[in-house]
Copies of this chain bind each other. A is one copy, B any other.
Amino acid sequence: MQRAAQPRPVADDPILLPLPMTQPPSPPPRARTPRSTGRVTLDDVAQAAGVSPITVSRALRGARSVAPHLVEQVRQAAVALGYVPNLAARSLASSRSQSVAVLVPLLSNQLFVNLLEAAQTVFMQAGYQTLLGVTHYRPEEEQRLLQIHTAQRPAGLLLTGFDHTPATRELIAQSGIPCVHMMELAPGEPELPCVGFSQTDAGRDITRHLLARGRRRIAFAAAQLDPRAMMRAEGYRQVMREAACYDAGLECLDAQPSSMALGGRMFERLMAERPDVDAIFFCNDDLAHGALLAAQRMGVAVPQRVAMAGFNDLEGSDLMLPPLTSVRTPRVEVGQQAAQMLLALIEGEPLEPVQVDLGFEVVVRQST
């Protein structure tokens, strides 16, 4: 049965996942085979309803080729017995599954939590379960996770970024599982489905904003040093070079994970080593939050003495003292759109724009 590409069934639809309100009358009559689990199966429901198993299967999945009265009959039998379909059997028989794997680098960055939550919501509403993977920004760990997840035959894959090992690319291609990438664009490979925005452009724009504010000794502070941070660095460098302001000594790079505490330390270090700095572009807002607090503690006036800008416009940036200038990135939209694109691919629908650029926005506040 090839389900046509109609509006996708949304969660409370035909698929019956009944809840036994009471003890089912009697577990399957007698032990059938030595290996039977003793659970209520489709066959049990069929017997109870007085139809064949396949009719039960069709009725419960909402196939329209079953007489309404039979559907009702089957449904009642299923509820009465407390039938719960076995998805392993279903996916073995149909070679199709109801789960989707989502891989994010970290959960300690709010950005990825928002991404994950947005995607998870879309998947759940479409009846798909979310398998979570955390790569810790390590391509090898991503590969391992993918090897494990691939064995589960998820219906789709949602990955963050393009930083894969060759083996990972091979694995994805071989598996034939639809895959959508988040947070970056791949202009070089126009057939690769992805939704994000240009990290380099974003880095460029926020740096231009600082220059427009009259700053010249603009530092760039980044943690983690993942590919996307490095793209933002690239944007920063381009603009600084164009303005003849580039100074490698103003780059403050630290491979540790991003955090408020690290931002505070970076700020202290910068002020000590480069007291001439007049602005700082932090690669992520948590760093900037920490720096803002450190500045207050140290009595450094922001933006008078040093202007500060962040990235991602995370929670609280608008509440800081002073409110933080940042780049609003469409993370929730990225998660949603990516999930929807993946669902379309899973259903075999064509992707209208294969790559979606959701853009970004420089949000100017008092810190610059």
A83 to chain B: closest residue by CB: B151
Output the least CB separation between A301 and chain B (Å).
15
The answer to whether B174 and A20 have CB atoms under 8 Å apart is: yes
**Which one of A44-52, A129-137, A341-349, A351-359 contacts B?**
A129-137
- Which of A21, A88, A108, A121 lies at the interface centre, i.e. has the most chain B CB atoms within 10 A of its CB? A88
List chain B residues, Cβ under 8 A from A303.
none
A-B contact pairs, 13 of them (CB 8 A): A17-B150, A19-B167, A19-B171, A37-B95, A85-B151, A87-B151, A87-B152, A116-B132, A120-B134, A259-B315, A260-B315, A260-B319, A293-B320
Output the least CB separation between A73 and chain B (Å).
21
Interface size class of A (residues with CB under 8 A): 35 or more
| Residue A261 is within 8 A (CB to CB) of chain B in the complex | yes
| Residue A255 is within 8 A (CB to CB) of chain B in the complex | no
| Residue A153 is within 8 A (CB to CB) of chain B in the complex | yes
List chain B residues, Cβ under 8 A from A152.
87-88, 98-99, 129
A1 to B92, CA, bound (A): 22
Q: What 0/1 pattern do residues 1 to 38 of A give for CB contact below 8 A with B?
A: 00000001111100001111100000000000001010
Contacting residue for A116 out of B107, B147, B151, CB 8 A = B107
Output the least CB separation between A157 and chain B (Å).
14
The answer to whether A151 and B120 have CB atoms under 8 Å apart is: no
A236 to B13, CA, bound (A): 45
A297 to chain B: closest residue by CB: B321
| Given A297-B321, A316-B260, A316-B289, A19:B87 Cβ within 8 A | no
| Given A88-B153, A147-B84, A21:B117 Cβ within 8 A | no
A279 to B89, CA, bound (A): 59
List chain B residues, Cβ under 8 A from A107.
113-114, 116-117
A213 to B82, CA, bound (A): 57
List chain B residues, Cβ under 8 A from A133.
124
- Which of A95, A124, A129, A261 lies at the interface centre, i.e. has the most chain B CB atoms within 10 A of its CB? A129
| Residue A97 is within 8 A (CB to CB) of chain B in the complex | yes
The answer to whether A84 and B321 have CB atoms under 8 Å apart is: no
Chain A residues at the B interface, C-beta cutoff of 8 Å: 8-12, 17-21, 35, 37, 82, 84-89, 91-92, 95, 97-99, 107-108, 113-114, 116-117, 120-121, 124, 127, 129-134, 143-145, 147-153, 167, 170-171, 173-176, 259-261, 264, 286, 289-290, 293-294, 296-297, 315-316, 319-321
Contacting residue for A99 out of B10, B89, B131, B316, CB 8 A = B131
| Given A11-B144, A129-B152, A175:B84 Cβ within 8 A | yes
A320 to B297, CA, bound (A): 9
The answer to whether A170 and B260 have CB atoms under 8 Å apart is: no
Output the least CB separation between A22 and chain B (Å).
8
A19 to B140, CA, bound (A): 12
A143 to B320, CA, bound (A): 39
A19 to B319, CA, bound (A): 48
A143 to B92, CA, bound (A): 26
The answer to whether B108 and A97 have CB atoms under 8 Å apart is: no
List chain B residues, Cβ under 8 A from A286.
315
A149 to B120, CA, bound (A): 14
The answer to whether B92 and A147 have CB atoms under 8 Å apart is: no
The answer to whether B151 and A17 have CB atoms under 8 Å apart is: yes
The answer to whether B143 and A19 have CB atoms under 8 Å apart is: yes
A133 to B315, CA, bound (A): 23
- Which 9 pairs of residues, A with B, have the shortest CB-CB distance? A17-B147, A88-B91, A88-B92, A107-B117, A132-B132, A260-B316, A88-B88, A19-B167, A130-B132
